[in-house]
Amino acid sequence: MSTIVPDAMKSGMPPILPIDFNASQPTTIRLYPLSNYTFGVKETQPEEDPSVLARLRRLEEHYTAHGMRRTCEGILVCHEHNHPHILMLQIANAFFKLPGDYLRPEDDEIEGFKERLDERLAPVGSLGEGEKAGDWHVGDCLAQWWRPNFETFMYPFIPPHVTRPKECKKLYFIELPKSKVLSVPKNMKLLAVPLFELYDNTARYGPQLSAIPHLLSRYNFEFVDEDGNVVAATPGAGDAASDYVPKTKVLAGGEDDVDMSAGNGTNDH
């Protein structure tokens, strides 16, 4: 089968076209630009525990009454200049976490997760007109992290000597629609963090969040502009002429941009 190459792309050394390399590839994910989304703030949601020790003590009480705690968090992805960005919460200018939380003992996993996403990110008042509760597209479960004991450490596996883990945290891919209104509690910041900022950055983000680029590497992405046109895709190239370098942005609850070179907060609490 011959391939037609436009004259402008022809050269004395035509490219070698490889055999198709997409066997068993997951469905390509379409990412919409950050500018498609509207961000606001809502009432403060104070942390349930004043300290890490108090949080672990409450986990122990939950385990005694209900068994292993189930937690779900969402990986929400959009793009800025054709580079994936993860929507993430920052608490007290220190700790980073994904939207979501532990499920109540009686909750169905997915429906309970959607309620927790609403609590964190659903708008209120006039911003929420036209949006309904639980309007989230929960996609693949990308990771499971296990807490073997009543301590801060979690692992992406169950250690051999552990038969009764105390908590399982699942990370789900949340496919964002073309546009959406999101509101963050006033005591938190909503950030858009570039994928390359997370990669191999356990010192700042901890092992769970810094692993997100690995989790997303299984997907190919289409990058769509504000008019709905696909302007780049992976594998492929975007605007090679642009010298723009993506950086973390505060979307709500703080200033326009944030210097991510300072501090040492993680989500390991």
Cis peptide, bond prior to residue 235, ω within 30 of zero:
yes
Q: Give the DSSP letter of residue 257.
A: B
Which residue, among 42, 75, 31, 40, has the nearest Cα to 179 in the 3D structure?
Answer: 31
Establish if 265 belongs to a structural domain.
no
Establish if 2 belongs to a structural domain.
no
Q: Give the DSSP letter of residue 243.
A: -
Establish if 90 belongs to a structural domain.
yes
Q: Which two tokens stand for residue 131?
A: 């949006």
Contacts of 73 (CB under 8 A, 6+ apart): 97, 98, 99, 100, 101, 169, 170, 171, 172
Establish if 252 belongs to a structural domain.
no
In degrees to the nearest 10, what's the CA dihedral of 72, 77, 83, 88?
A: -60
Q: Which two tokens stand for residue 239?
A: 């605007």
Confidence at residue 239, expressed as pLDDT on a 0 to 100 scale: 47
* String of DSSP letters for 107-172: --HHHHHHHHHHHHH---GGGGTT--TT--EEEEEEEEEEE-SSSS--BSS--TT-SS-SEEEEEE
Q: Which domain holds residue 172?
A: 41-226
Establish if 57 belongs to a structural domain.
yes
Establish if 203 belongs to a structural domain.
yes
Which residue, among 34, 29, 30, has the nearest Cα to 226 in the 3D structure?
Answer: 34
Confidence at residue 253, expressed as pLDDT on a 0 to 100 scale: 78
Contacts of 53 (CB under 8 A, 6+ apart): none
* String of DSSP letters for 173-241: EEE--S--EEEEETTEEEEEEEHHHHTT-HHHHHHHHHTHHHHHTT--EEEE-TTS-EEEESSS---TT
Q: How many domains does the chain have?
A: 1
Establish if 115 belongs to a structural domain.
yes
Which residue, among 126, 123, 139, has the nearest Cα to 43 in the 3D structure?
Answer: 123
Confidence at residue 124, expressed as pLDDT on a 0 to 100 scale: 84
Establish if 21 belongs to a structural domain.
no
pLDDT tens for the chain, 269 residues long, are 444 545 555 567 887 777 888 888 898 999 999 999 999 999 999 888 888 899 999 999 999 999 999 999 999 999 999 999 999 999 988 889 999 999 999 999 999 999 999 999 999 875 556 677 789 999 999 999 999 999 999 999 999 999 999 999 999 999 999 999 999 999 999 999 999 999 999 999 999 999 999 999 999 999 999 999 999 998 754 444 456 777 898 998 754 444 444 444 455 55
CATH at 179: 3.90.79.10
Which residue, among 91, 56, 82, 48, has the nearest Cα to 229 in the 3D structure?
Answer: 82
**C-alpha–C-alpha distance, residues 47 and 120, integer Å:** 12
